[in-house]
Amino acid sequence: MEKKKIFYYRLFDDNEELDFLKSSLEYEKIRELLSEFESKNNDYFNKDFVEFMKKTDPEAEIIEVTNLYY
């Protein structure tokens, strides 16, 4: 059984809000979905895009990333 790959992306929306996205989709598929999302929306917000993505990747989610110092 092949282990499923998980990818992490940085997203900037129209408010220049930075979020981190976890998805099983590779970059090329994310770009396709982003183009489709942009064609149907006038405003681009990370939360809305991730909800749109969940139709293709139910595991997609915005994650919190924190610095760890030691």
Whether 1 shows a pLDDT value over 70: the answer reads no
Taking only Cα atoms into account, the Rg of the chain, rounded to an integer number of angstroms, comes to 13
- Would you say residue 19 lies in a domain? yes
> What's the gap between Cα 33 and its chain centre?
10
Q: Which domain holds residue 42?
A: 7-63
- Over the stretch 3-35, which tens digit does the pLDDT of each residue have? 889 999 999 888 888 999 999 999 999 999 999
Among all chains, which residue has been given the structure tokens 């930075």?
Answer: 18
Domains contained in the chain, number: 1
With 80 as the cut, is the pLDDT of residue 61 above it? yes
Please indicate, yes or no, if residue 69 is contained in any of the structural domains: no
Q: How far is CA 70 from CA 13, 16, 64, 65, 67, in A?
A: 32, 30, 19, 16, 10
Q: Is the pTM of this model over 0.75?
A: yes
